[in-house]
Structure 1
Amino acid sequence: MEGCSYYLAMVLVQLIYGGSNILIKFSLAEGLNPIVFVVYRHVMAMVLVGPFAYVLERKQRPSLSFSVAAKIFMLALFGTTIHLNVYYAGLAYTSPTVACALSNVIPSLTFLMAVLLGLEKLKIRTARGQAKVAGTLFCIGGSLVFTFWKGGYLFRGFVKSPLINISVAEMRHVKENWIKGALLILTSHIAWSAWLILQFSSLSNFGSLVSQAVVSKVYTARLSLTTMICFFASLQSSFLALFFARNPISWRLEWNLQLLTIVYCGVVISALAYYLQTWCISYRGPVFAAMFSPLQVIIVALFSAIAFAERLHFGSLIGTFLIIVGLYCVLWGKRKDNLVAEQTENGKGVLEDIKVLENDISVTNPVARERT
């Protein structure tokens, strides 16, 4: 039952992220400043989660050293400040479907970073090693096809006219903006992959590469960890706002869709989704968390086809197919790695038991001891 809970949690996370892409696209089209949005959503999440963290984890909260605080600061920098601000800038130039489809490169980017940092062992002569390399190449190739080649329309839309008229002008993007938006989104996913790696293997110090310590295991109070990530994210984005969002009008909130988006993302994403991801990553690792990203494409594509009358391009279909094939090649290789690791650990355990048994025999049986 516990194993199923990890899968259900990550499916819920993808549903949450899929819905947020739609709402955020609307709000950006209505003039919501993306940096101001990042500040507000994380302040709201911090205010919401903070009291629960204080009450529920008061007795089990570990001490916060400077080293752990620096690691949490880096988590906020890569996972929210850089990732979200660049992602929303890209979303303003393209459609939510494109943004979600490109999220499928995250597992390959995560795997590539893990290899470069020495967290993943790549045995190129084995089938699992070749699968991971091929999957990474498929994902990179698919993302390039998706970004630079639209192609013609494949099918007619599910509906003849969009149900939500606000998207008619916004969902038709010229090629230059399409490429610009896709490149920005890919850049944001590099930062997100770095966040996944930092969750699993935090920086030991700023001069070396990585240590084997896990942030979410070193600091086991997950609600407090989520609160501090939101605090640092709001602080970092507020600093950016001093340069890019000086207009006081950008900070004014009204009872409209923009406020609904801030509340949804602050409560559901920054609070609930972050907590669920941290929980899953701490037990199942970053690759497991990244394997569910294709669900976003299905969720958003279906909604966009019905609500926006969005039609599928041939280049988008080919690119998405290559990305998803590459994704599951990487995941298959990772699964085989885990099986081999489990068998190796079991073998070591058996050998240790045999050695202990031999030592016991040599102590209790003088004849056996003389023979040895």
Structure 2
Amino acid sequence: MWEIKIFGIIVAMEVVFVGSNTITKAAMAQGMSNNVYITYTHAISLFILAPTTFLYHRKTPPPPIRCSTILRIFLLAIISYGCSMFFYAGIRNSSPTLASATSNLSLAFTFIIAIIFRMEILNLSSKSSIVKLIGTIVSISGAFVVIFYKGLPIIAFPSPNTPSLDVQLQIQPNWIVGGMFLSISCILVSFIYVTKTWIARDFPSEVLITLITFFFETILAAIVTVIAEKDSSVWTPNYGIELTAILFGAVTVGMLYIVDIWLCRVKGPVFVAMFKPLQMIIAVIMGVCFLGDVLHLGSVIGGMIIALGFYTLMKGKAEEEILKNDIIDNANRLTYNSIEESSHPLKIPMLHDLSMDAKSKIKTKQKQFQKKKRKERRKMWEANMVIILLTMELMDVGCNTLSKAAMAKGMSNYIFTTYAHAIAFVFLIPLAFLFHRKTPSPPIGVAIILRLFLLGVLCCGCSIFLFIGIRYSSPTLASAMNNLSPAFTFIMGIIFRMEVLNLRARSSILKSVGTLVSIGGAFIVTLYQGMPITIFPPSPTQFSLHFPLVANETQPNWALGGLFLFASSIFLSLSFVAKTWIARDFNSEILITLISFFFETIVAAVVTFLAENDTSVWTPSIHIVWIAILFGALEVGVVNIVQTWACGKKGPLFVAMFKPLQMIIAVIMGVSFLGDVLHLGSLIGGTIIALGFYTVMRGKAEEESPKEVNESRLMYSSEEDSYSHKAPLLQNQNMDV
């Protein structure tokens, strides 16, 4: 859970940072001085941090501040100010997109500097070091693919009224100068991360470090601004975009600094720097969503390469942590064995007692290290599971959007269900064979076959009702109605005793409240629009699939579609419960998916023969139809395997509680790919959904932590009982005498 929080915090900080750069560029385009901007942002942030530091250290006293610490912080302030000065000078002469692109160099610089200062280990004979090195190179390569390779335009939102801040290379005479300034700032960023780690590990107070640094940095910035700016009018910014940029920058720079110092202390400089390649993806998304930029094929390919490199680097860091714990564990075992061999039965009782005490202490330390190692592995495993399930929800919404486009061109929803499952079934056969070639599959009994047939019927019913509902309504309403599935799954999980509801337990209350809050947020997105935040009018040739969430003349069957989607949510919840029921007795996700798809394809084919009288629907000829079917086959296969695996590991509610996030994804896709209007209700509802999602995650984490405590208590009590049956030491001595 801790790893998930860190991941979410860093990604949120990168989003805020890119947004701040975009607003700053807009303010500089209106004439704001970058020197004044740096001075004001750090000064305002200093005044905000002063009472925050006082409140933070009111109960917990700060560590003692030595002269060496002050000198280190002063050095950090000089490097930070130099970085800010070069960074904003670079943005003034180029663009926020180039700033995000060049920030990927900081990962390589930080990796090299951390190795020089022995904060990171590079051992080319170690797998974890090789994986980290490859991940670093791949991430940087992906960022440069985004910069230098555009490719075909995928989608564009022409908006003559929207000023684009992403200034092109041809109309930027100082583009090279800006790039040089940004490259220097990347080197200084790497030194900042290393210096923060150096200070924070000896002086663990992130807020106080930030406060003192900003004090020095504000003085430096003010002196440089007085010398550099001859016009005194630059000190009075206008009340429009300039003041907005300064206030937003003050909040951003304070938060980022505190979070960076905390992460440098906890995880090291490379861990913080390795999130920088994500800035390129965020910058491209913001450019498409808020600046009306063109989304090119190169951006998509580069984003996929960045994601691959990022995951590789995360994998290397995880393997390195596991290796460290194994080394510590082996060292403790060797120490314990040496004491075990040195303790001789002929020694006097006092020495024997001492050796027993030493052995018990080391045994306790061994248990602590084993417990810590298990926790770290579990946290990393949960973080991976959350990322995978989020990806599955993204694929699900994408499949719904494509299927709606294909249905608008005349594709039958029954044909889509049949073909998608049939193609997925054909691809799963060799995959299941390869997977179980070395590890034999568990025995399949008649009871398992009957359960799988029931699962096939439920999944087929869910798919049929879902795509009929999408045909009569829209993918957005489908995502909105999917938010009912956590409530249905929670109720069914309690009925089938897969979830525990104890209103006296805090974890159960959190799960219940989080589920209700997530559903409430989803319905706010659905039913409350609010003020439009940004509008990208679609081109005349663009086909929009995003229909309003109210009945009108063009949607006579909207209510009927909602009823079908409601039934689909019930079937979806039942399928989650059935997957959990099967996966806990039959541990093979691929075989479960393969056999259930076999039954599902047969049921879907029978329903299609009965429902479709026109035989021409079996031979689709339009490109969008085949694209939707092939993507649907991929999506339905991957999603079912992952959901079955997650249901077996974490239960049906854990999988279902990701469904409210579909609403956020649907809104983002509507704005990005369909030219929809982003309303205030979408932002408010999305925030409430995220709050409810976090509350449920918190409840699940608190529900699991007492289980570990009880298991350790049971283990300890069993050991105590086993020792109590042994004869005492004095009694053994008397018997020997």
TM-score, with structure 2 as normaliser: 0.44
Contact 2:525 2:663 in 1 (8 A): no
Structure 1 residues 164 and 296, CA gap change in structure 2 (3 angstroms)? farther
8 Å contact from structure 1 (residues 72, 229) kept in 2: yes
> CA separation of 1:118/1:152 partners in 2, compared to 1, >3 Å: closer, same or farther?
closer
Aligned residue number for residue 252 of structure 1: 619
**Cα distance in 2, alignment partners of residues 340 and 296 from structure 1:** 31
Q: 1:234: how far off?
A: 0.7
- Is 1:171–2:171 an aligned residue pair? no
2:483 matched to which residue of 1? 104
Distance across 1 between alignment mates of 2:608 and 2:564: 19
2-side partners of 1:282 and 1:357: how far apart? Answer: 37
Match of 1:126 among 493, 505, 514: 505
Q: 1:28 aligns with which of 396, 407, 423?
A: 407
Q: Sort the Cα spacing of 1:186 and 1:317 in 2 relative to 1 into closer, same or farther, 3 A.
A: farther
Work out which of the residue numbers 674, 698, 705 in structure 2 matches 1:332: 698
Counterpart CA distance in 1 for 2:520 and 2:642 is 31
Could you tell me how far 1:317 is from its partner in structure 2? 6.4
**C-alpha separation in 1, matches of 2:516 and 2:385:** 28
Residue 300 (structure 1) aligned with residue 666 (structure 2): yes
1:25-54 per-position Cα deviation (integer Å, ceiling 9, x unaligned): 101111211111111001001111112212
Choose which of 58, 68, 75 in structure 1 pairs with 2:455.
75
For residues 313 and 95 of structure 1, the distance between their equivalents in structure 2, rounded to whole angstroms, comes to: 18
- 1:124-161 deviation line (CA, Å, top 9, x unaligned): 123222233333444555566666xx355521543122
Aligned residue type for 1:77: V
Task: Decide whether aligned partners of structure 1 residues 361 and 21 sit closer, same or farther in structure 2, where only a CA change above 3 A counts.
Answer: farther
Give the 5 Å matches for 1:1-372.
1=318, 3=381, 4-58=383-437, 60-78=440-458, 80-139=459-518, 150-151=527-528, 153-155=530-532, 157-162=534-539, 165-167=542-544, 171-172=547-548, 174-175=550-551, 177-200=557-580, 202=581, 215-266=582-633, 268-311=634-677, 325-361=691-727
Task: After TM superposition, give the deviation of residue 243 of structure 1 in Å.
Answer: 2.4
Q: Aligned pair in 2 of structure 1 residues 307, 8: CA closer, same or farther (>3 Å)?
A: closer
Instruction: Give secondary structure in 2 for the equivalent of 1:105.
Output: helix
Indicate how the Cα distance of structure 1 residues 235 and 159 shifts in structure 2: closer, same or farther if over 3 A, else same: same
CA distance in 2 between counterparts of 1:85 and 1:286 reads 21
Cα distance between partner residues in 2 of 1:8 and 1:325? 17
Q: Shift of residue 73 of structure 1?
A: 1.3
Aligned to 1:210: none
Higher alpha-carbon deviation: 215-224 or 172-181: 172-181
Q: CA separation of 1:217/1:120 partners in 2, compared to 1, >3 Å: closer, same or farther?
A: closer
Q: Is the 8 A contact 2:534 2:679 kept in 1?
A: no
Kindly indicate whether structure 1 or structure 2 has the higher relative contact order, using CA contacts under 8 Å at least 6 residues apart: 1
Q: In the alignment, is the contact (CA less than 8 A) between 1:105 and 1:139 conserved in 2?
A: no
- Residue 238 to residue 190, structure 1, CA distance change in 2 (3 Å): same
Contact kept? 1:41, 1:270, Cα under 8 Å: yes
- Give the residue type in structure 2 aligned to 1:100: S
Deviation of 1:67 (Å): 0.5
Secondary structure (helix, strand or coil) at the match of 1:220 reads coil
Q: CA deviation at 1:262?
A: 0.6
Alignment TM-score, normalising by the size of structure 1 = 0.82
What whole-Å deviation, never above 9, does each CA across 1:248-279 have from its counterpart, x for those lacking one? 1221122511111111111x212222222223
Deviations 1:50-89 (A, max 9, x none): 12212431461223211001111122222x2111111111
Could you say what secondary structure the match of 1:64 adopts? Answer: coil
Q: Please state whether the residue corresponding to 1:279 is helix, strand or coil.
A: helix
**Against the structure 1 CA distance between its residues 162 and 173, is the aligned structure 2 distance closer, same or farther, given a 3 Å change threshold?**
farther
- Give the Cα separation in 2 of the matches to 1:306 and 1:137: 29
CA distance in 2, matches of 1:232, 1:166: 36
Matched residues in 2 for 1:224 and 1:17: separation? Answer: 22
Based on CA coordinates, which of the two structures has the bigger radius of gyration? 2
Q: 1:191 to 1:52 in 2, by over 3 A?
A: same
1:311 and 1:231 map into 2 onto residues whose CA distance is 42
Supply the AA of the counterpart residue of 1:335: A
How far, CA to CA, are the matches of 1:186 and 1:365 in structure 2?
73
Note if contact 2:513-2:692 (Cα within 8 Å) is conserved in structure 1: yes
Distance in structure 2 (CA, Å) of the matches to 1:88 and 1:112: 25
2:540 & 2:644 partners in 1: Cα distance? 36
SS across alignment from 1:92 = helix
Identical aligned residues as a percent: 24
Cα distance change on mapping 1:361 and 1:18 into 2, 3 Å: farther
Mind listing any 5+ residue stretches in structure 1 that lack a counterpart?
203-214
Gap regions ≥5 residues in structure 2: 1-317, 319-379
Instruction: Assess if the C-alpha contact under 8 Å between 1:162 and 1:306 holds in 2.
Output: no
